[in-house]
């Protein structure tokens, strides 16, 4: 199962359509263009095991480039366009990427020595690849993504799996999960509303293309536009995050009623906890087709739950599909059903954080079971419930944001004595970033200082990490040892947590 197979069997079938521009790319075109891209990458001296980085918006060229890297045996690292230049530079250097392909001009801070750059104002990837043949390179071999998951101490964590061995068209666990659990096949019409640089949208879209289906890519999410696309293209499968659900549910009832959504067979969501009332509303609207899974970029385990199971276990994210669930105490020992602890997977796929043995070690307990840092419990039937997140990670619109990096940036402000960054409830995004600041001089607390802090963060943090709210306190609660008692700060915003 590979786009090249479908290019031979169904060459004129759309591999994907861009929702906004309407551009359609067939399997024959995807095959030829990815072959040309593979030749171009080889001409730059890249060999199996080397890496490239993509920093693209949802663009019609995205899949042509990742499939070029995949069939050239390369690692492809997809980087959020919303990160700041220092964050991007770190990922490029840490991943060892030799080529950067971007949809916007590249900052000099990113343009490190030896990096080949294809971007506006630099080389043109599409123009250069057209000089190469549309036939495969002689040494095709499967490559794989190398993606980054943000760390609790600020620096992103790269997950560099072993390169797949075997044929180019071999299947993988996610594709098989989609096929067996969600009924994905060649007749699948898949709506992808999220940025392709995130792991789940990227991997699911590529899985659909392995199966020979068609992906509908939204350049930017809009609730009513999503409903219109479902009707227009008879979408069968879609993946959302809870923020998407909330935005669609907030549409007037008469607007939602305008569109025929009967083609939908499966809708599934992940990336952030979904409020129970939101899930119930989605089930009432779309019927018993809402599925959910819990996993991470690390792919060390996965739980899943269907609509009937969820109604019997509301709030659960399911039972283990990959790996064995273990809820552990502070010593790493398993806890009984119903008790809250750190969520671990035993017997799941192995992973390591690239160039970071300390973070790799921290993700294991003494039994060798792995964790993503989440906290929860398992009921008597083996269903997992998420109750919190270690280090008070913030999830805003399905994107993980870690406070430490933001705190480290704010504390350098000369008029800030102390700071705590937390997530506060947000009716649309799930959570919003709030900085609670202890000023060096209490008399300066107010809008002027808040704006000065915001200005100091521009260019240092990606836009999504910028605090949406800055509040002031005379003193932050700290333990005599110096440890910040963030729980007490958070309780002001989550009084019932």
Tokens (6 digits) for 306: 């269907």
Ramachandran sector of residue 161 (left: φ over 0; alpha: ψ -120 to 50; beta: rest): beta
pLDDT at 64 over 70: yes
Q: Please tell me whether residues 386 and 406 are part of one structural domain.
A: no
Reported as a single tens digit per residue, the pLDDT across 320-361 is 999 999 999 988 999 999 998 899 999 988 899 999 999 899
Closest to 54 measured CA to CA, from 118, 132, 121, 149: 118
CATH number of 308's domain = 2.30.38.10
Hey, which residues does 292 pair with through a beta bridge? 269, 305
* Residue 497 belongs to some domain of the structure: no
Structural domain of 350 = 270-391
Residue 262: what pLDDT? 98
Closest to 315 measured CA to CA, from 266, 242, 410: 242
**DSSP state string for 426-489:** ETTTEEEEEEEEEESSGGGTTHHHHHHHHHHHBTTB-GGGS-SEEEE-S---B-TTS-B-HHHH
- Out of 203, 223, 256, a domain closes at 256
CATH number of 430's domain = 3.30.300.30
Residue 273: what pLDDT? 75
Reported as a single tens digit per residue, the pLDDT across 158-177 is 999 999 998 999 999 999 99
- Out of 256, 287, 318, a domain closes at 256
Residue 361: what pLDDT? 93
Q: Please tell me whether residues 107 and 160 are part of one structural domain.
A: yes
Scanning the structure block, which residue is given the tokens 């119903």?
338
Cα–Cα distance measured from residue 466 to residue 450, given in angstroms and rounded to the nearest whole number: 12
Of all helices (H) and strands (E), which one includes residue 266? strand 266-269
Reported as a single tens digit per residue, the pLDDT across 412-464 is 898 998 889 999 998 888 899 999 999 989 999 999 999 999 999 998 888 88
Read off the pLDDT of each residue in 212-236 and give the average, rounded to a whole number. Answer: 97
Report pTM.
0.82
pLDDT at 35 over 60: yes
Reported as a single tens digit per residue, the pLDDT across 369-395 is 999 988 889 999 999 998 756 667 788
Q: Please tell me whether residues 380 and 485 are part of one structural domain.
A: no
Domain count of the fold of the chain: 3
Q: Please tell me whether residues 143 and 281 are part of one structural domain.
A: no
Q: Please tell me whether residues 22 and 74 are part of one structural domain.
A: yes
Read off the pLDDT of each residue in 111-132 and give the average, rounded to a whole number. Answer: 93
HEC readout, 194-209? CCCCCHHHHHHHHHHH
Q: Please tell me whether residues 71 and 162 are part of one structural domain.
A: yes
Q: Please tell me whether residues 365 and 435 are part of one structural domain.
A: no
Cα–Cα distance measured from residue 10 to residue 8, given in angstroms and rounded to the nearest whole number: 6
Q: Is 219 exposed, middle or buried (0-12, 13-18, 19+ CB in 10 A)?
A: middle
Residue 13: what pLDDT? 98
Lowest-pLDDT choice from 77-91, 355-369, 389-403, 412-426: 389-403
Cα–Cα distance measured from residue 71 to residue 68, given in angstroms and rounded to the nearest whole number: 5
Q: Which residue has the higher pLDDT, 389 or 41?
A: 41
Q: Which residue has the higher pLDDT, 365 or 412?
A: 365
Compute the radius of gyration of the chain from its Cα atoms: 23
Read off the pLDDT of each residue in 186-195 and give the average, rounded to a whole number. Answer: 96
The number of residues making up the chain comes to: 497
- Out of 359, 391, 423, a domain closes at 391
Residue 408: what pLDDT? 80
């Amino acid at each position: 199962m590979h786009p090249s197979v479908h290019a031979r069997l169904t060459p004129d079938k759309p591999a994907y359509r861009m929702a906004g521009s309407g551009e359609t790319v067939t399997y024959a075109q995807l095959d030829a263009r990815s072959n040309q891209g593979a030749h171009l990458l080889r001409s730059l001296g890249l060999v199996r095991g080397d890496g490239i980085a993509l920093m693209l918006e949802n663009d019609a060229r995205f899949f042509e480039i990742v499939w070029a890297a995949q069939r050239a045996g390369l690692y492809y690292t997809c980087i959020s366009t919303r990160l700041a230049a220092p964050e991007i530079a770190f990922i490029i250097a840490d991943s060892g990427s030799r080529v950067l392909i971007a949809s916007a001009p590249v900052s000099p801070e990113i343009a490190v020595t030896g990096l080949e750059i294809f971007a506006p104002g630099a080389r043109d990837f599409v123009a250069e690849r057209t000089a190469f043949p549309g036939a495969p390179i002689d040494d095709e071999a499967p490559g794989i993504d190398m993606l980054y998951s943000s760390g609790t101490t600020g620096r992103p964590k790269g997950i560099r799996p072993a390169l797949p061995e075997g044929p180019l068209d071999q299947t993988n666990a996610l594709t098989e999960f989609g096929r067996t659990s969600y009924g994905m096949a060649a007749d699948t019409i898949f709506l992808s509303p999220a940025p392709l640089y995130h792991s789940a949208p990227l991997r699911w879209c590529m899985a659909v293309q392995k199966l020979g289906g068609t992906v509908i890519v939204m350049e930017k999410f809009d609730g009513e536009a999503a409903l219109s696309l479902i009707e227009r293209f008879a979408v069968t499968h879609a993946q959302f995050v809870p923020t998407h659900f909330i935005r669609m549910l907030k549409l007037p009832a008469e607007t939602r009623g305008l569109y025929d959504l009967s083609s939908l067979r499966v809708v599934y969501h992940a990336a952030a906890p979904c409020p129970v009332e939101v899930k119930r509303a989605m089930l009432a609207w779309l019927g018993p087709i809402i599925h959910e899974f819990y996993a991470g970029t690390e792919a060390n385990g996965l739980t899943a739950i269907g609509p009937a199971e969820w109604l019997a276990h509301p709030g659960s994210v399911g039972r283990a599909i990959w790996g064995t669930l273990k809820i552990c105490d502070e010593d790493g020992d398993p806890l009984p059903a119903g008790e809250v602890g750190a969520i671990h997977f035993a017997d799941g796929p192995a992973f390591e954080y690239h160039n970071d043995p300390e973070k790799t070690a921290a993700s294991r307990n003494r039994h060798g079971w792995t964790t993503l840092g989440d906290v929860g419990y398992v009921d008597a039937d083996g269903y997992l419930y998420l109750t919190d997140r270690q280090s008070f990670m913030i999830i805003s619109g399905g994107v993980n944001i870690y406070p430490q990096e933001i705190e480290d940036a704010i504390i350098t402000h000369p008029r800030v004595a102390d700071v705590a960054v937390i997530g506060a409830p947000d009716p649309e995004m799930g959570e919003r970033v709030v900085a609670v600041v202890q000023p060096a001089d209490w008399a300066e607390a107010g809008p002027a200082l808040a704006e000065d802090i915001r200005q100091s963060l521009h260019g240092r943090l990606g836009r999504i990490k910028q605090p949406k709210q800055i509040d002031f306190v005379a003193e932050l609660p700290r333990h005599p040892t110096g440890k910040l008692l963030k729980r007490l700060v958070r309780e002001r915003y989550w009084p019932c947590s």
